[in-house]
């Protein structure tokens, strides 16, 4: 069975958590496409060359979940040559036998416009910044909340304002606002929508 679930949304909205849960529940392969861009950004040198030569080992770096890696990903993701180099990799992954779930920022709009299911997971900037801040340690974090919020808003502006494949919901995506939802509620909503679209 070939079945693609495309999950898009801004940073810290919950799309990664939902995507991993979906992959586990339905037995689909999972690709966090943001890791591709994070790895390219953290490799340094010419981003387009780094994207063309990206290896599976590059995706195992321990620093790919850092704020620095997120900022680096946002910077290299605006480069058309980088996006082109990573495009085929993502599309092949999406149409693999056995089903696949991909999460990112342009999966439903650019990478997999024909995906069987498209979800756009979002939440307010304040809620997303608080989640990120708590991940960093909350009151014990090195960064004050206001600084994390400013970074989240700057990232949104870059991702939504870029000329090539800006972050936006696909016209036929189901929007899932997790601002007031628990993780379990958000995952359950995703499960229900996907189950309704499975063949047979």
Distant-in-sequence, close-in-space partners of 31: CB < 8 Å, separation ≥ 6: 90, 93, 94, 100, 101, 102, 103
Q: Using an 8 Å Cβ cutoff, are 18 and 119 in contact? A: yes
Q: Report how far Cα 85 is from the mean position of its chain's Cα atoms.
A: 18
Please state the residue numbers annotated as binding site. Answer: 9-17
Q: Report how far Cα 148 is from the mean position of its chain's Cα atoms.
A: 18
How buried is residue 97: exposed, middle or buried, by Cβ count under 10 Å (0-12/13-18/19+)?
exposed
Please state the residue numbers annotated as binding site for ATP. Answer: 9-17
């Amino acid at each position: 069975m070939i079945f693609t679930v495309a999950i898009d949304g801004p940073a810290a909205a919950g799309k990664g958590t939902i995507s991993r849960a979906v992959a586990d529940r339905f037995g689909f392969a999972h690709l966090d496409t943001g890791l591709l861009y994070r790895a390219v950004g953290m490799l340094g040198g010419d981003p387009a060359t780094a994207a063309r030569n990206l290896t599976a080992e590059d995706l195992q770096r321990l620093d790919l979940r850092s704020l620095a890696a997120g900022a680096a990903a946002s910077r290299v993701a605006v480069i058309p040559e980088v996006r082109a180099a990573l495009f085929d990799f993502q599309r092949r992954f999406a149409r693999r036998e056995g089903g696949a779930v991909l999460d990112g920022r342009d999966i439903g709009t650019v990478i997999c416009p024909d995906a069987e299911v498209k979800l756009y997971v979002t939440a307010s900037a304040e809620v997303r910044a608080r989640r990120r801040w708590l991940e960093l340690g909350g009151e014990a974090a090195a960064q004050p909340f206001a600084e994390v919020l400013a970074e989240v808003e700057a990232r949104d502006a870059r991702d939504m304002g870029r000329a090539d494949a800006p972050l936006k919901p696909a016209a036929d995506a189901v929007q899932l606002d997790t601002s007031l939802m628990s993780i379990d509620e958000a995952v359950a909503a995703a499960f229900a929508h996907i189950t309704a679209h499975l063949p047979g």
